[in-house]
Amino acid sequence: MTDEGLEKEYKTVWDNALESLKTSLPPSTYEPWITPLKPVEPKEEQYKKGVFVIKSDQAFGVSHLNQKFLPEIQAAVNKAMGKEIPVEIVFVPSNVKKAPKKKFKPNEEIVLMQEQIDNLKQMHSFCALNLKYTFENFVKGENSKVAYDAAKMVSKAPGQKFNPLFITGSVGLGKTHLMQAIGHDILKNFPKLKVKYAKTEEFTNQLVDSCRNGSDSYNEMRKFREQYRNVDVLLLDDIQFAEGKKRTEEEIFNTFDALFHAGKQIVFASDRPIETFEKTPDRLKSRYEWGLSVEIKPPSLETRIEIIKKHARRANYEIADDVAEFLAKNYSKNIRELEGAYNKVSAYASIQGLELNVKTAKEILGFRENQRKITTDDIIKKCAEYFGTTAELIKGSQRSSEIKSARQAAIYLTRQILDLSFPVIAQSFNKNHTTILYSYEKLKKDIELNPTLKENLEEIENLIRN
């Protein structure tokens, strides 16, 4: 068979394999990891006879693909090929133009390519950045314009403007996306800089573990501090979880000073504004306020529609305007829920071979005509009223009997009614997900032993739904 014939055969095999993978893998995996892959053509230097070679232009992605998804890809290719054939995934840069031979010696080209690969590996392993959280994938609206523009300026001149940058906004509005986009852009513009992204809960857990190691605690603390201070850019998410944790806040304060005075860039994100941090020491609050604080607000209807359409374009999926508008109108406060609803309806319709219209979307999402969309805030408010307390106290840290009972009921009913994950529920209650999981499981067991408690929760649920 000629090279041209092989090329056509490989393309057909890969197209069929993609169809199989699209149904076996979730959209969150398929879209960012699988769709960019292409089969190597016979004329390319990576071609191997008797091997189905797949190329990726993201060096850091090759290792992840080989570790996580190679068996699924191998099975899909073998099914499409109709026989067993080895599959390899290799890195092939797609947008790097080779310089004229007279400007680079062969060994210099290898060094430059290796530097690029090392930087990309650094971005994936050390920085813990999500590949989809880039500026290109962020939909800028009036709700996020100031935050977006400030983030772009920081990424172009880290440590020189808006240091620290403090991003605030409610759960699921895109704070993490914008924060990680800064990291991606800095690594692209300044590949030699070290970028570190972490959640404050992770920071706290590592700190606690370092202090527990007895005689090795000095060395463990040194390693911990090097991890967060030997960087050029620190992106610390969910900073609200540090409030009231004295040891954590002390370490953040010292880390801040070490980085700031060395001219390094710091970016914080929180679902609450700085002025609400009543338990945080004034000296740390003042550090938070040194630079620029920007807020991401709930997006407008137009912005939400554009978010859905951009999400669909990235997945090469056609979505009708009325379906996009239906989703945007019914998921108005939380972008994460909006995208989750889109993923659910598009995946279900595709798998079942259904036309995705408004009627189908309603059926998939379980909407009834004139059905009110229940939110976490609705549940917390009703639980607060039932137990004679307030939503603020339920989200706070007080542990009186009434508040504790109201909090556990709200957590349990949020899980039961909205079927949200524990990490998402944790964000709404300003707690870590292990605390939420413990509260839910405890109340679930108590219900089995206490019929009155079960009746009380059913009564609250009826109040919420009606």
* pLDDT tens digits, one per residue of 280-303: 999 999 999 999 999 998 888 888
| Residue 406 dihedral angles phi and psi, to the nearest 5° | -65, -40
Residue 101's pLDDT is 34
**Is 241 in a helix, a strand, or coil?**
helix
Burial class (CB in 10 A: 0-12, 13-18, 19+), 5: exposed
Residues 94-132: pLDDT tens digits?
A: 544 333 333 434 444 444 444 544 555 445 445 678 888
Q: Is the pLDDT of residue 410 over 90?
A: yes
Name beta bridge partners: 53.
88
The Cβ of residue 260 has, within 10 Å, a number of other Cβ atoms equal to 18
Residue 110's pLDDT is 40
Q: Give just the sign of the alpha carbon dihedral 238, 244, 247, 251.
A: positive
Cα 162 from Cα 151, distance rounded (Å): 9
The total number of residues written for the chain in this structure: 466
Query: Which tokens is 358 given?
Result: 């408004």
Cβ(337)–Cβ(170) under 8 Å? no
Average pLDDT, the chain: 83
Query: Which tokens is 393 given?
Result: 């106290």
Residues 355-381: pLDDT tens digits?
A: 888 988 888 887 755 456 788 999 999
Angle between helices 106-125 and 59-68 (to 10 degrees): 60
Cα 349 from Cα 20, distance rounded (Å): 16
The band of 385, judged by pLDDT with boundaries at 50, 70 and 90, is very high
Residues 329-353: pLDDT tens digits?
A: 888 767 888 888 888 888 888 877 7
Residue 429's pLDDT is 92
Q: Is the pLDDT of residue 460 over 50?
A: yes
Burial class (CB in 10 A: 0-12, 13-18, 19+), 248: buried
Domains and CATH numbers, the chain: 3-91 (3.30.300.180), 145-295 (3.40.50.300), 301-365 (1.10.8.60), 376-465 (1.10.1750.10)
Please provide the DSSP assignment of 35-57 as one string. TT-EEPPTTSTT--TTSEEEEES
